[in-house]
Structure 1
Amino acid sequence: MLNVGIIGASGYTGVELARILSIHPEVKLTVATSRQYAGKPLSAVFPNLRKRVDLLCEDLTPEQLVDRADFFFAAVPHKTAMALVPTLLAAGKKVVDLSADFRIRDAAVYEQWYQPHTCPELIAEAVYGLPELYREQVKQARLVANPGCYPTSIILGLAPLLREKLIDPSTLIIDSKSGTSGAGRSASVDTLYCEVADGFRAYKVGGTHRHIPEIEQELSVLAGSAVTISFTPHLLPISRGILSTIYATLSSAVSEQDIQALYESAYKDESFVRVCPAGTFPATQHVRGSNCCDIGVKVDARTGRVIVMSAIDNIAKGASGQAVQNMNLMNGFAEDCAIRGAAFFP
């Protein structure tokens, strides 16, 4: 039995981790931290965990944490993670970090979009935790950088086309819509019910969203050359889910049937990537609560463009579900253990 800790258990990713781990047969959740709710039962903060998770929230230093678990999820804000991880690794622990602190391989690029990095020496060691691309590396890792939610939906959506060089990367336009849980649990005017309900809006327009360097980094690896994207995120009046619509110009005449076959072949052995039947397309309600990424493709013969649509649950495959998928790989468990369930519907 693997003893597991959640650092930062009082956010949406933290409660989703606790929910998943409560049904995981190979692990025991032994510690959950929260400064805000220290001393309170986690199930008092999140009543959905009653009689499922029996832990008090604690406010602990990294030095205190090392004796409480063998494996840690860092579900804390950017910059906070980099202050915790070195101590945990030095004590022989394994970590999945859900922040952006170790996703971007160039510290200078990270600092342009976030803040100064205090342990850049660990960036080179961290494995980008998208198992569908880096499964073997994740298995050997002691530090995994869990991908962002938008990047997960976009990279999985584009990987087959970029690998086969079937599109012109300079033409990529990406339009993503996310539920409000992507903004986190802290109170904000922008995510108040009356600000979100019955509406739909873009934000971080004009290439300013922090996920852009992460997306471009991984797309460039797939393409074998530098990729620059036009990316516009939008806020949906739903609690969870991401739908990304991706447009690119085909580099040669390729039929829709061939592209459909390419995707089906690329993902036929992947438990969590489901290619929609030809002529059908993903929807957020079909992945809600699951660790799945649904992908659909269509060729616009009139413009010579391919359109790729992908849907994920931003808290599951976009965060905590994928983090557990990585934990499973890092510890030799079945990759789909505790996360194989279907989406809840309706």
Structure 2
Amino acid sequence: MADVTTKIRTGILGASGYTGAELLRLLLRHPAVEIGALTAERQAGKPMGEVFPHLGRLGLPDLVKIEDVSWDKLDLVFCALPHGTTQEIVAGLPRNLRVVDLSADFRLTEPEEYKTWYGHEHRAQDLQKEVAYGLTELNRQGVRKARVVANPGCYPTSALLPLMPLLLDNLIEPGGIIIDAKSGVSGAGRDAKQANLFTEVSEGFNAYGVGHHRHMPEIEQELRLAAGRPVTVSFTPHLVPMNRGMLATIYVKMADGVTADDLRAALTARYEGEAFVGVTPAGVVPATRHVRGSNHCLIGVVPDRTPRGAILVSVIDNLVKGASGQAVQNMNVMLGLGETTGIDGVAMFP
């Protein structure tokens, strides 16, 4: 395990967004981390407390443009930049820097699939071969060895943690999986958008990206690896008028002779000893308030009335386990630190 008396000099690229601010909130209580650089293009030159008042008076460096960062003074960077902007930046970083990327730019392993879903060529194809997918509990060895980790999306995290172990154990059918997921508004980012105004979101509930959301190929890519064959899911995301939180209701068909109790037992066994993933007892369905502000994922299993049907309910905080918390977890694994360091807080309630 790394010596926590030697501070890890860390930078956050894109510190003026919600995930950047959440990274700072978590890293400020991490005993092995020193914040060395914070970037923001439009907010460059401002103190962090001006952009996020709750992060003022903490001795943080001012925000700067990416080209003004002294890379030789950093050991690891978190990239919390918009999709489509990260590949070239990461490819141009010094080779000695470790990277945890919170964008979608390195999550898809096939360049052609990336082009199909994101509308432009992958701009760092050689680097893509060195990237590990950072679903920590299910790819810990890959994360440990990687220089660049692609942090999973929030929706994929909520769906893959319950589904992948069941596919690996052949307990559910790969076909016919339905993922009905809901997210708090912070998942849409901090940029001013009409669709995210209070009057547009409050007292409403809507689906978006119906039939063609960019998290679909990421989910299917990882499920394909677990199942050993192609998997096509029906995935629909929804926007819920709350600040943070994510709930995925997942409908599956069990293999012959398998019961919902078997699914629960398999998930319980798979995540036994894991600090951040838990399975609720029979009859208990998790809620977003059970994980708010924490790096935890809770999974419930309920038998469905349809033949061989079961319903999985998975909850995370989209900004923590769905983004910044999982990013810190991956950093801890990459650098040989205790995996829960800095992110071991319990959920906030009420």
Q: Same fold (TM over 0.5)?
A: yes
Residue aligning to 2:267: 263
1:13 to 6, 14, 19: 19
Pick which of 307-316 and 75-84 moved more: 75-84
Pair 1:130-2:135 in alignment = yes
Query: Aligned equivalents of 2:338 and 2:113: distance in 1?
Result: 35
Query: Aligned equivalents of 1:222 and 1:150: distance in 2?
Result: 17
Residue aligning to 1:39: 45
Question: Which residues of structure 2 form unaligned runs of 5+?
Answer: 1-6
Amino acid paired to 2:268: E
* CA-to-aligned-CA distance 1:90-127 (integer Å, 9 cap, x gap): 3x100001111111000000010112111111111100
Residue aligning to 2:65: 59
Question: Which residues of structure 1 form unaligned runs of 5+?
Answer: none
Amino acid paired to 2:307: T
Distance 1:248 1:3, change over 3 A: same
What CA RMSD, in Å, does the superposition of the two structures yield over aligned residues?
1.2
* 1:298–1:307 CA contact under 8 A, matched in 2: yes
Residue aligning to 1:303: 307
Residue aligning to 2:203: 198
Q: Secondary structure at the match of 1:239?
A: coil
Q: Report deviation, 1:58.
A: 0.6
2:36 to 30, 39, 57: 30
Q: Secondary structure at the match of 1:221?
A: helix
Query: Aligned equivalents of 2:40 and 2:26: distance in 1?
Result: 18
Residue aligning to 2:325: 321
* 2:27–2:33 CA contact under 8 A, matched in 1: yes
Query: Aligned equivalents of 2:154 and 2:222: distance in 1?
Result: 14
* Identical counterparts, % of pairs: 51
Residue aligning to 2:76: 71
1:248 to 229, 249, 252: 252
Query: Aligned equivalents of 1:148 and 1:248: distance in 2?
Result: 21
Pick which of 152-161 and 3-12 moved more: 152-161
* CA-to-aligned-CA distance 1:198-242 (integer Å, 9 cap, x gap): 111111112x10000000000010111110011110000001111
Q: TM-score, normalised by structure 2?
A: 0.96
Query: Aligned equivalents of 2:165 and 2:97: distance in 1?
Result: 35
Distance 1:53 1:179, change over 3 A: farther
Q: Secondary structure at the match of 1:238?
A: coil
* 1:287–1:293 CA contact under 8 A, matched in 2: yes
Residue aligning to 1:231: 235
Aligned residues: 343
Query: Aligned equivalents of 2:225 and 2:273: distance in 1?
Result: 22
Q: Report deviation, 1:80.
A: 1.2
Query: Aligned equivalents of 2:182 and 2:150: distance in 1?
Result: 23
Pair 1:50-2:60 in alignment = no
* CA-to-aligned-CA distance 1:161-218 (integer Å, 9 cap, x gap): 1111111111101100000001000011111101111111111112x10000000000
Distance 1:302 1:217, change over 3 A: closer
Q: TM-score, normalised by structure 1?
A: 0.97
